């Protein structure tokens, strides 16, 4: 029953203002206003600028989402909003807007964990059944989650420092390649020799599924500086080979840790990957091979659903509503909100602030 309700979803926890209308698994509309241009001059997301832009753009995004979907507020059954984790000013903008809408219309209010939105996306895109394993891998997240239900998650491991997308972006910056770094590095890696430079495979010597990526970036910096000292600069082939070596190291670490996470979980219906870095062709192919070697379906939702959006928030809201019901107007915005309350806090935070 819960799946056939029509939900308005709102997302404003980082640098994308988003609104979407969902009916069951059907996305009637999904509007995303990104703030990249506003933050470009600062080399990162400025929380105050982000919060102000969310407050200015949310109502416009909601209007567009409703009109794209061909509905009005009276056709909406519930309002789902990201209530954390994320940059507090942005989360507050969304929560206040959702509370206002809920109070004015009498529609139920559902506070959604942003990471639950990502983690439940394989159910929205492919109808994957519980329980499944998901690797969230983006510029801000890197963790393995076993998903047993809309509010039941176990974290099997996470990065203790950088997120992989962040490492791709820093690598591109160190090599003078355009941002976002992932696609640039992937492009150059195509013509590179991944065996020319030795890159570490961090934490593979230790048991468990935790990951670390900051050492890779330091290794790249050292190789780059050595080449510059030896030859006075970098040739195109050097850049290609560095990119190939770096990308292969990320792939190897993520594949081995995925293998361990899969081996430690019983009864899975599938293995899913989500987040911007899941767009990496080499990584995606390697994870798919791993998954099929274990006889498990592999799900990689379309990129528009992997990056921040409000359709995933509406979906996670509907799933949560079906088991837990609605929140009330005391719903608060939470800067930190681990999905797995029993797991110790992750040491790393990622470029967009602490997430887990």
Which residues of the shown chain bind ligand KG4 in the complex (CB under 6 A)? 138-140, 165, 168-169, 180-183, 186, 275-277, 279-280, 307-308
Q: Count the site residues for Zn ion by CB under 5 A.
A: 1
- 54 close to 12: Cβ distance less than 8 angstroms: yes
Closer CB to ligand KG4, 45 or 66, in the complex: 45
Closer CB to ligand KG4, 161 or 327, in the complex: 161
Cα Rg of the chain, angstroms = 21
Closer CB to ligand KG4, 90 or 165, in the complex: 165
Tokens of 55: 């407050």
Closer CB to Zn ion, 166 or 308, in the complex: 308
| Least gap, CB of 167 to ligand KG4 (angstroms) | 8
| Least gap, CB of 161 to ligand KG4 (angstroms) | 15
| Least gap, CB of 78 to Zn ion (angstroms) | 22
Binding piece for Zn ion, criterion CB under 5 A, among 29-37, 228-236, 300-308, 338-346 = 300-308
Closer CB to ligand KG4, 157 or 276, in the complex: 276
Helix, strand, coil: what percent of the chain each, to 5?
Answer: 45, 20, 35
Of the candidates 166, 308, 319, 327, which one interacts with Zn ion according to CB under 5 A? Answer: 308
Contacts of 187 (CB under 8 A, 6+ apart): none
9 binds, among Zn ion, ligand KG4, none (CB under 5 to 8 A by kind): none
Closer CB to ligand KG4, 9 or 181, in the complex: 181
- 12 close to 58: Cβ distance less than 8 angstroms: yes
**What 3-state class would DSSP assign to 251?**
helix
d(CA 244, CA 225): 17
158 binds, among ligand KG4, Zn ion, none (CB under 5 to 8 A by kind): none
279 binds, among Zn ion, ligand KG4, none (CB under 5 to 8 A by kind): ligand KG4
169 binds, among ligand KG4, Zn ion, none (CB under 5 to 8 A by kind): ligand KG4
Tokens of 97: 């807007």
- 152 close to 179: Cβ distance less than 8 angstroms: no
| Least gap, CB of 17 to Zn ion (angstroms) | 13
Which uninterrupted H or E stretch holds 18?
strand 16-23
State the distance between the two ends of the chain, measured CA to CA, in whole angstroms. 31
| Least gap, CB of 326 to ligand KG4 (angstroms) | 28
d(CA 352, CA 14): 7
312 binds, among ligand KG4, Zn ion, none (CB under 5 to 8 A by kind): none
Closer CB to ligand KG4, 108 or 140, in the complex: 140
Tokens of 89: 């000013």
Tokens of 155: 């974290």
HEC string of 32-53 equals EEECHHHHHHHCCCCHHHHHHH
Query: Can you give the binding site for Zn ion, defined by CB under 5 A?
Result: 308
């Amino acid at each position: 029953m819960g799946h056939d309700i029509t939900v308005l979803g709102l997302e404003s926890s980082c640098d994308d203002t988003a609104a979407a209308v969902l009916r069951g698994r059907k996305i009637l509309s999904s509007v995303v206003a990104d703030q990249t241009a506003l933050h470009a001059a600062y080399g990162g997301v400025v929380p105050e600028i982000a919060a102000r832009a969310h407050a200015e753009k949310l109502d416009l995004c909601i209007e567009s989402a409703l009109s794209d979907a061909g509905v009005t507020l009276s056709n909406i059954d519930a309002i789902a909003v990201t209530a954390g984790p994320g940059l507090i000013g942005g989360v507050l903008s969304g929560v206040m807007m959702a509370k206002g809408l809920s109070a004015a219309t009498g529609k139920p209010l559902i506070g959604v964990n942003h990471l639950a939105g990502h983690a439940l996306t394989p159910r929205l895109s492919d109808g994957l059944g519980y329980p499944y394993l998901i690797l969230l891998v983006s510029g801000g997240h890197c963790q393995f989650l076993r998903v047993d239900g809309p509010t039941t998650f176990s974290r099997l491991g996470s990065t203790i420092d950088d997120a992989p997308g962040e490492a791709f972006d820093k690598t591109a910056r160190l090599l003078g390649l355009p941002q976002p770094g992932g696609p640039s590095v992937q492009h150059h890696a195509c013509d590179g020799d991944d065996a020319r430079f030795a890159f570490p495979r961090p934490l593979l010597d230790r048991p468990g599924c935790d990951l670390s990526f900051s050492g890779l970036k330091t290794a790249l910096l050292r190789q780059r500086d050595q080449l510059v000292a030896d030859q006075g600069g970098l040739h195109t082939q050097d850049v290609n080979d560095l990119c190939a070596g770096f990308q292969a190291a990320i792939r190897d670490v993520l594949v081995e840790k995925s293998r361990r996470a899969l081996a430690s979980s019983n009864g899975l219906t599938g293995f899913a990957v989500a987040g911007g870095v899941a767009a990496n062709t080499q990584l995606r192919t390697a994870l798919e091979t791993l998954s099929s070697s274990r006889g498990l379906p592999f799900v990689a939702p379309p990129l528009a659903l992997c990056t921040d959006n409000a359709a995933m928030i509406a979906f996670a809201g509907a799933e949560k509503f079906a088991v837990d019901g609605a929140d009330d107007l005391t719903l608060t915005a939470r800067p930190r909100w681990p999905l797995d309350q029993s797991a110790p806090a992750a040491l790393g935070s990622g470029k967009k602030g602490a997430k887990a």
